[in-house]
Amino acid sequence: MEQFIVSARKYRPQNFSTVVGQQHITTTLKNAIRNQQLAHAFLFCGPRGVGKTTCARILAKTINCEHPTPDGEACNTCQSCVSFNEGSSLNIHELDAASNNSVDDIRSLVEQVRFAPQAGKYKVYIVDEVHMLSTSAFNAFLKTLEEPPPYAIFILATTEKHKILPTILSRCQIFDFKRITTQDTVDHLAEICQKEEIKAELPALQVIAQKSEGCMRDSLSILDKIVSFTNGELTYKNTLEHLNILDADYYFKLMDCMLNQDLSGALLLYEDINRKGFEGDLVLNGFAEFIRNLLLSKDEKVASLVEVVESFRKRYLEISASCSTGYLVSALNILAEAEINFKSARNKRLHVELALIKLCYLQQALSVVADTDKKKQTDLRPLNFRVIQPVRVADTAPANPVQEKPQIPVQAPPVQPVPKTASGPKLIIEDQLITEKKTTAGKLGSLQKLRQQVSSTTQSSKERSVIFITSELLQAAWQEFIEQLKMNRNPAAQSFEMAELRVVNDEQFTVVTPNNLQQKFIDGERIALTEYLQQRFHNRRLSYQVVVEQREDLSIKIEAPLNSRERFQQLAEQFPLIKDLKDRLKLELDY
Ligand SMILES: [Zn+2]
């Protein structure tokens, strides 16, 4: 039986021109070899599986080749090349710094460097994962790296360039490897499939390429795995199955349900997905990715960023055209939140379903918000929503909602809907009171009194007229809210203090913050703040928006980087406990 060699090894490129997706590096290296301007130390950085070690090996082979081709490639036929290809060359030394990271390992490497090569021109030392070397090992290496013998070449490879000491960086010629694009990966996989006589559908290869996220080695091992499972016939369907990816078709269907407010459809679909064995978080994540793609598809300029199976691209464009950006962004928000809280949810299934329910009624919620903004245009609403029954129960509005809607603008021009909606519950309470009086006359006297009190307060609170916003009132309310935050030791208090308030009209105002961070803090309290202000001004329609406006005096202050003392002070102001900790433990700042 023929020995099986994994594709990643079998199809490891043998010369520069076959390296996938790193032309900027291979061209430079070839030119350097041709012009004999080779540096003695290289640093190859980049994500894993994009060809760093491969390029290092090709470089080693090429500079030792006895008959290099005119354009700077190895001949792959001379003795040196053959020994390189067989892995028996003595001129290449590979050290895996992940497992050999001590000073002694480096010392023994440096020892070897002293001996000139017996055959060939260069000895090449490849140090993989060089960021794993200990600091002392790095230091032991420095001298050799700076002044190596003329026949020695060092190639350091790392996935984490930021962990390399500057002293090493400055001694190396640095090459940054790029992530391999999906298209390049697909092309390469297709080529291999052709050579291996594997039948593969293009969408299947696209899915593999996307799943491997720019790592060629991953994509090849996925290919190997699926090929061995499927006897060399890759279809879109069996690829999805093996990669545990949910077919994008499901997301399209889900989206359809969301747009049509078809809750039962969405839940049934989720049931179907669930039965197939897909975890809830996977669905949330996949759906978020799907909506992100829709969002990107809205703009032609960024539509190219959407990495989807080609045959779906048109559908993405179609659906994205039919929903608003606001809807998509809010949906993404809901999904992100659901995904974060997924782990702590007890009933995972319910948790996901809840997110789906929210998404189903999101469009309606958004249009209600839009409605209150332009209340007079209610009739022009483009979407005809289903009426949700439970909401109407408390409402005394006539059974036919269509009749009522046009009445709002006619009846009350500066609209104060509060007493209107309140009339229902009030009546009921009174009714109850009357019946109660009849039946339990004296027995429950105190309870009755209590009820009366409650009902009178609820009445009065509901009938209290709306207070219109003025700058002074708003400032006062704002300050009180800040005090509340401070009492709760909420770090957002500082952001609130820095914000500037601008009254827009009787029930709207704008919060101006100097930067995004402050905005985030203030937005984080949105629910509490809205609740607080609406109660205080007796106005359910009160709303505000938070905008970022860079004030010149502030922006300068913010842009200047803080030194460690200032940073500590800032922290201490925000979290007084830190200062306490420092004082109690008698800690000193390390400047
Ligand atoms: Zn050769």
Lookup: tokens for 575: 């979290």
Q: Counting beta carbons within 10 angstroms of the beta carbon of residue 158, is it exposed (0 to 12), middle (13 to 18) or buried (19 or more)?
A: buried
Give the distance (Å) from ligand 1 centre to CA of residue 114.
Answer: 25
Residue 417 has pLDDT above 50, yes or no: no
Give the distance (Å) from ligand 1 centre to CA of residue 5.
Answer: 24
CATH number of 182-243: 1.10.8.60
In Å, how far are 514, 517, 540 from 559, measured between CA atoms?
A: 11, 13, 39
Query: pLDDT digit string (tens) for 455-486?
Result: 555 555 445 678 888 888 888 889 998 998 88
Give the distance (Å) from ligand 1 centre to CA of residue 439.
Answer: 108
Helix (H) or strand (E) holding 554: helix 552-559
Give the distance (Å) from ligand 1 centre to CA of residue 472.
Answer: 84
533-555: average pLDDT: 77
471-559 to CATH, choices 1.10.3720.10, 3.40.1280.10, 3.30.300.180, 1.20.810.10: 3.30.300.180
- Main-chain phi, psi angles of 407, to 5 degrees: -70, -30
In Å, how far are 303, 352, 437, 482 from 445, measured between CA atoms?
A: 71, 48, 9, 43
Give the distance (Å) from ligand 1 centre to CA of residue 28.
Answer: 20
Give the distance (Å) from ligand 1 centre to CA of residue 147.
Answer: 28
Give the distance (Å) from ligand 1 centre to CA of residue 41.
Answer: 22
Give the distance (Å) from ligand 1 centre to CA of residue 50.
Answer: 25
Give the distance (Å) from ligand 1 centre to CA of residue 38.
Answer: 18
Query: pLDDT digit string (tens) for 208-230?
Result: 998 888 899 999 999 998 988 88
Query: In 3D, which of 99, 89, 94, 24 has the Cα closest to residue 63?
Result: 89
Give the distance (Å) from ligand 1 centre to CA of residue 65.
Answer: 4
Give the distance (Å) from ligand 1 centre to CA of residue 32.
Answer: 17
Residue burial 515-526, b: 16+ Cβ < 10 Å; e: rest: beebbebbbebe
Q: Domain 7-176 adopts which CATH fold?
A: Rossmann fold (3.40.50)
Q: Domain boundaries in the chain? A: 7-176, 182-243, 248-372, 417-464, 471-559
Residue 405 has pLDDT above 50, yes or no: no
Give the distance (Å) from ligand 1 centre to CA of residue 280.
Answer: 55
**CA 11 to chain CA mean position, Å:** 34
Query: Which range, of 172-186, 190-204, 433-447, averages the lowest pLDDT?
Result: 433-447
Residues 337 and 144: their CA atoms lie apart, in Å, by: 53
Residue burial 372-395, b: 16+ Cβ < 10 Å; e: rest: eeeeeeeeeeeeeeeeeeeeeeee
Give yes or no for a contact between 503 and 474, defined as CB atoms under 8 angstroms apart.
Answer: yes
Give the distance (Å) from ligand 1 centre to CA of residue 4.
Answer: 27
Give the distance (Å) from ligand 1 centre to CA of residue 13.
Answer: 15
Give the distance (Å) from ligand 1 centre to CA of residue 97.
Answer: 29
Task: For the chain, give the percent of residues with pLDDT over 90.
Answer: 24
Residue 584 has pLDDT above 50, yes or no: yes
Residues 41 and 32: their CA atoms lie apart, in Å, by: 13
pLDDT at res. 416: 47
What Rg value do the Cα atoms of the chain yield, rounded?
A: 34
Q: How many CA atoms lie within 13 A of 170 on its CB side?
A: 5
DSSP 234-279: E-HHHHHHHHT---HHHHHHHHHHHHTT-HHHHHHHHHHHHHTT--
248-372 to CATH, choices 1.10.1740.10, 1.20.272.10, 2.40.10.120, 3.40.50.620: 1.20.272.10
Give the distance (Å) from ligand 1 centre to CA of residue 130.
Answer: 29
Query: pLDDT digit string (tens) for 336-385?
Result: 999 999 999 889 899 999 999 999 988 888 877 777 766 655 444 555 55
Residue burial 25-57, b: 16+ Cβ < 10 Å; e: rest: bbeebbebbeeeeeebbbbbbbeebbbbbbbbb
Residues 29 and 38: their CA atoms lie apart, in Å, by: 8
pLDDT at res. 362: 86
pLDDT at res. 153: 93
